[in-house]
Structure 1
């Protein structure tokens, strides 16, 4: 997998302790999402706002499942 740190247009956003690296890629946007020292997950969407919204949603799902809330 390509390291998102090496994309020239990568933008870093932090949300609730997670790092979100946003990068345009062709016709889509990529978001690499992870806690520090964790392997990132990849989220794709057609635009920056959509990929960021999906990343926030994924983070909230992780936090909910970590706390055992259904």
Structure 2
């Protein structure tokens, strides 16, 4: 199985996401970051998931989390 390695920019983005949500609720912020982590694990197991986004970068896929 593939291993997820978060780059510093991704870690900073996740921290920013947590901070914004935590302004309303720490619990909701934790739950959303947990959901993102679950999606990372799913993507590691099935790397072909998601919508191709070749118009943005070669080999790029997007995979929404939440709404």
TM-score, structure 2 normalization: 0.43
Instruction: Identify, as 1 or 2, the structure richer in strand.
Output: 1
TM-score, structure 1 normalization: 0.41
More RCO (CA 8 Å, sep 6+): 2
Q: Greater Rg, structure 1 or structure 2?
A: 2
Instruction: Identify, as 1 or 2, the structure richer in helix.
Output: 2
